[in-house]
Chain A
C-alpha cells in the first residue's frame, strides 16, 4: 500500500488545507458571532424573527424559493451628500466656500475634507452616506448584505439565481397582504410575472355562514366561482410573515449608510 499511502497523503495535504481555510477558519472567525449594534445607536441587530416568520423560513426552504430568488444585495460603492446645517457666525464666508465646493457624489475622503474646510470657516455640516449600485437603485435594499444579516437564519438561504427579484428588502416594499395575493396568483399583482402560482398553499372553500376575514380579495379574473372564497393555509401566512420580515435598511458598521 505504499503507493496508496502517497496518494492519500496528497489528498490529505490538498483537501486538508482547504478544509482548514474554508471550513475551520470561517467557523473560528464567525461561528461565535454575536448580535451587533446598528450604526450610531445602541439598538441590537439582528433581532430574531417573530415565531410565525421563523416558521415561514422553513416554508421558504421546503418549497425551494431560493432556486429563483436571492437574498443578497450587492453594492458597487458609496456616495456622500453633504448638507449645511448651521451657517455659523460668518454665513457669507461659508456660503462663498460652499459655492466653490462639490456637495454631491463625493467619496468619503472628499466629503470629510470639505466638511473640515467648512467647519474651519465656522459652519456645521452633515454627511449622508448613500450606497450605490444597480441592486440599490432597484430598491432591493439600502445597502449591501453582510454576514451580520444572516446570524439567526437556519438554513441560510442566500440563493444563486435571480429568475425572480432579490428578496432581501421585500418586507419594506410589500406588505403581507400583497404577498398572499402574489403567492396565490402572481399575475394578479405583477402583470407578466413568470412566477409559478402556489395555489396549494391556499384553500378554496365554500363560503360558510359569513365570509372568512382572511379570505383574499382577488381581482375578478382570478377570483374563485361565486359562493367560494380563497383562504390562506397556515403555511401561506407563515411564508408571508417571513417575507414581510425581510429588510435591508439598517445601517451597520460593516455597511454604513445614512438612514
Chain B
C-alpha cells in the first residue's frame, strides 16, 4: 500500500486559514466550556471524597454525599465530563488544521456537544442519587450512557466527514491516532453497556468485560488522543520534524495491538489464562511506551531552527489596539511584528504554558504507563493490588497525562479559534505550576503510601487498622494536592469562561452596531456571511474597510 505521508504538521502549510479556525469557534466553545465546568465539578467532588478520610463523619446524613457515590462521580466527571469532550474538541481542531478544511455544518457538533454535557449531567445525578450501575468507569445509568453514545457518534461522524473532506490529502501520524480513537470508543462503550447494563452476562464475565472496557478507555483511548495531540504540537514547539514518522507509526501499531489486552489484574478470580495473557500484553506494551518516549525526546531536543512556538509566529487574530489599524498583509491576517509581539506575547517570556503542559503530559504518560505495566507483573501486583497505588496511577494517567496535554492544546488553539487572546494569560501560566504541583503532591505520596499499605497488608501480624492508619499520613499530602488541582482547574475554567464571555460580548456589540448602523453601511455587512462562525473574518474585513 502506498500512503501519501506528511512528516511535519506544517509540511505544506501555507498561511493559516482564518476560515478554518472560525468554522470551529462555536463547537469548540461548546465542548470546552462544558468540559471546564465538569473539570471543576470533578475536583470539588474529589475534595469532598478526600476530606472523608480525615473526618469520616463529614456529611454522614446525606446519601448524595456518601463516599461511595462521590468518589465514582468525581472520577466520571473527570473522564466523561472533561477528558473525552476536550479530546474530541482538540481532535476536531487538529483534523481541520491538518486537512486544511473548514468544518461544515457546525451546528451539528454544537448540538452534539450540548447533548454530551447533558448526558454527563444525567449520569452524575444518577450516580449521586444511588442509581450507579456498579461497574467501575461505567457507573452512569442507562439514560446517561445512551445520550453520551449518540452525542459521541455525532461528534465522531462530523470529525470523520471533515477528515474525508480534507484538502491536504497527505496523512500525518496524528491522523492515525485520532481516527483510531474515534472508532475505538463506540465499540468499547457499546460492548460494555450492552453486556453489563442492558443484557448483563453472568458471573465474573462481567468483571472481565469491565476490565477490558476500563483498560481500553483509560489506557488506549486516552493514549491515542493524548499522544496524537502531542505529536502535532511537539514539532511545532521545537521546530524539528517528528522524529520519526515511521517510529510514530510503529508506536501506533504496537500501542493498539498490545495495549488493548491490558487491564486484567493478575490475582483476579477468573480462569488463569485471562490474567496471564493480560500480563504478557502489558509487558509488551513497554515497546510503544518507550517508542513514544524516544519520539518525544528526539523531537523536542534543542534545535537551531526557528521555533514555531505559540506567540512567535502566531496568527492570533488579536483585535487591533484601539485607534490604530494594523497593517493588513496580503493573506488577510493580523501578523504581529516584534514590538507588538512583545506587548502581546500571550504568556510573557520563557516557556509558554502549552509547551510546558504537553511536555509534562508526555512525562506523565511514560511514568503512568510504566506504573500500569508494573501492576500487571504478578510479583509487584502482590503488593500493589488493592492499595492506593492504583488510584495514584489512574490519577497520573487521567490528570497528569491526559488533562495536562489537553490544557496545553486548548491554551494554544483557543485564542486562534476565538480570535481573542486569553483574557488572563498570566493565570494560564500560574495554572501550569499549580496543576503540576498538584499532580506531584497527589500522586507521589499516594503511590508511596500504597506500597507501604500493601506491604503492611501482606503482613498478617499487623492489624488491618494499622495498615489503614499508615496511609493517613500520605493522605494529608494528597488532599493538599487535590486542593491545588482544584485551584488549577478553577483558573482554567476562569480563562475559558472569560473567553466565552468576551466573545459573546463582541457578538452583542456587533449585532448592536449592525442594527444601529446607517442604512448604506448595513447593506455592505449584509453581503458578508451571517453565520456567527464567520464573524472573525467579518471583523477583519471591517478593519480593512476602516
Contact = CB atoms under 8 A, between A and B. Distances in A.
Contact of A15 (B66, B133, B200, B256): B256
Q: Is the interface of B mostly helix, strand, loop or mixed?
A: helix
A64 B277 contact: no
B387 A161 contact: yes
Given A3-B4, A11-B183, 16 more contacts: A4-B160, A8-B183, A14-B260, A22-B264, A31-B202, A64-B66, A66-B134, A74-B385, A144-B269, A146-B269, A147-B269, A160-B136, A161-B386, A161-B391, A196-B52, A197-B60
Interface string A154-182: 11111111111110000000000000000
A199 B134 CA distance: 21
Given A15-B216, A22-B261, A134-B460, A33 B63 contact: no
Nearest to A145: B269
A151 interface: yes
Interface residues of A, number: 72
Interface in A10-58: 10-11, 13-15, 17-19, 21-23, 26-27, 29-31, 33
A64 B72 contact: yes
Q: Which 3 residue pairs across A and B have the least CB separation, nearest first?
A: A64-B68, A137-B460, A62-B130
A251 B488 CA distance: 53
B277 A21 contact: yes
B177 to A, nearest CB: 9
Interface stretch (B203-211, B431-439, B521-529): B203-211
Nearest to B70: A64
A137 B472 CA distance: 24
22 contacts: A3-B175, A11-B180, A14-B257, A15-B187, A27-B201, A62-B130, A62-B131, A62-B132, A63-B66, A64-B66, A67-B67, A72-B269, A74-B267, A137-B460, A147-B271, A155-B206, A156-B206, A158-B204, A162-B457, A198-B60, A198-B66, A200-B66
A190 interface: yes
A155 B132 CA distance: 11
B208 A65 contact: no
A194 interface: yes
Interface stretch (B21-29, B297-305, B319-327, B461-469): B461-469
A199 B184 contact: no
Contacts of A113: none
A190 B136 CA distance: 28
Interface stretch (B10-18, B36-44, B188-196, B415-423): B188-196
A165 B398 CA distance: 27
Interface of A: 1, 3-4, 6-8, 10-11, 13-15, 17-19, 21-23, 26-27, 29-31, 33, 61-68, 70, 72, 74, 76, 134, 137-138, 144-166, 186, 190, 192-200
A194 B50 CA distance: 12
A157 to B, nearest CB: 6
B176 interface: yes
A156 B204 contact: yes
Contacts of B180: 7, 10-11
B56 interface: yes
A140 B265 CA distance: 19
A161 B131 contact: no
A86 B277 CA distance: 47
A30 B209 contact: no
Interface in B243-270: 252-253, 256-257, 260-261, 264-265, 267-270
Contacts of B390: 160-161
A4 B182 CA distance: 11
Contacts of B67: 64, 67-68, 196
Interface string B376-413: 00000010011110110000000000000000000000
Given A7-B180, A11-B180, A155-B196, A22 B458 contact: no
A4 B388 contact: no
Contacts of B175: 3, 7
B198 to A, nearest CB: 12
B386 A70 contact: yes
A63 B460 contact: no
B465 to A, nearest CB: 5
A30 B464 contact: no
B164 interface: yes
B375 to A, nearest CB: 11
B339 interface: no
Contact of A23 (B1, B53, B191): B191
Contacts of A15: 183-184, 187-188, 216, 256, 260
Contacts of B252: 10
A3 B171 CA distance: 8
B253 A162 contact: no
B252 to A, nearest CB: 8
Nearest to A146: B269
A13 B264 CA distance: 20
Contact of B269 (A149, A190, A193, A194): A149
